[in-house]
Amino acid sequence: AQTVTQSQPEMSVQEAETVTLSCTYDTSENNYYLFWYKQPPSRQMILVIRQEAYKQQNATENRFSVNFQKAAKSFSLKISDSQLGDTAMYFCAFMKYTGANSKLTFGKGITLSVRP
Amino acid sequence: DGGITQSPKYLFRKEGQNVTLSCEQNLNHDAMYWYRQDPGQGLRLIYYSQIVNDFQKGDIAEGYSVSREKKESFPLTVTSAQKNPTAFYLCASSFRDGPYEQYFGPGTRLTVT
């Protein structure tokens, strides 16, 4: 079974600065996907970024980028130029690539606070 | 607008009653999922369905039931057999054959007293 670990329960960052959220996972699979989801106080889960394991290039989406280290089974999220609207819980998630049975396994999340 | 709707946003029930949570999507997604979220925990999968009239148990299916009679709809029933039903419930959907990212509804907060 796959496990996803987010060891930092809370983090805080000053507005406009950069912050990195850590995530590690355990799997014996070679083909899989990794995701970061954001859950603001409204509790709506929003997809932030995704990474395919077969791609060596790290994914980026505007101010959000990942550092994917497949051998180390590490998948961290970097948020640049932090904004107040980035305040949220962030969940790392793993999906084994099985085509028709694509289940997500989530970490326990990290609460990020952006200070004005 | 395309999206996933869940109703109601807040739901209150007495212990011993069954309750059904609604989930509808108009994204033409094949697969639908139900998750439960408790404080301090990530999301845990209750049930999922890849096609109409077929569904599978997730990691915490005991005390829950689902149906998938239409592609757009995947209601979840929380039965009286569920020992700790008070939680935040999230519905999600995705394409069955990719891309695989799941999109979520706004959630339903269920309180059982």
Name the strand (E) or helix (H) holding B31. Answer: strand B31-37
Q: Which two tokens mark A106? A: 């989530």
From A43, which residue of chain B is nearest by alpha-carbon distance?
B106
Q: Which residues of B touch A42 (CB under 8 A)?
A: 106
Predicted pLDDT at A101? 60
The minimal CB distance from B42 to the residues A33, A42, A91 is found for A91
pLDDT higher than threshold 80 for residue B33: yes
How many CA atoms, within 13 angstroms, populate the side-chain half-sphere of residue A84?
Answer: 2
Would you state the pLDDT for residue B42? Answer: 85
Cβ-Cβ contacts under 8 Å between A and B: the total is 52
pLDDT at B96: 82
Q: What is the mean pLDDT of residues B9-28?
A: 94
Q: What does the pLDDT read at residue B64?
A: 97
Instruction: Report mean pLDDT in 10-residue bins for chain A, 116 residues.
Output: 90 97 94 95 95 92 96 97 97 82 86 96
3-state secondary structure at position B23: strand
Residue B1: what pLDDT? 63
DSSP state of B93: E
B96/A100 touch (CB, cutoff 8 Å), yes or no? yes
Q: What is the pLDDT of residue A49?
A: 97
* Nearest one of A30, A21, A48, A14 to A109, comparing CA atoms: A21
The string of pLDDT tens digits covering residues B65-102 is: 999 999 999 999 999 989 999 999 999 999 887 778 89
Average pLDDT, chain B: 93
Pairing mode of beta strands B76-78, A3-5: unpaired
Q: Which residue, among B35, B36, B60, B102, would best test binding to A if mutated, counting the most A CBs under 10 Å from its CB?
A: B102
HEC string of chain A equals CCEEECCCCEEEEECCCCEEECCEEECCCCCEEEEEEEECCCCCCEEEEEEECCCCCCCEECCEEEEEECCCCEEEEEECCCCHHHCEEEEEEEEECCCCCCCEEECCCEEEEEEC
pLDDT value of position A43: 93
Asked if the Cβ–Cβ distance from B42 to A109 is below 8 Å, we say: yes
Contacts with B, A 55-114, CB within 8 Å:
91, 95, 97, 99-104, 106-109
Give how far Cα B15 sits from Cα of A79, B107, B111, B113, Å.
44, 21, 10, 6
- Compare B9 and B100 and report the one with higher pLDDT: B9
- Using a CB-CB cut-off of 8 Å, the residues of chain A touching B45 are 103-104
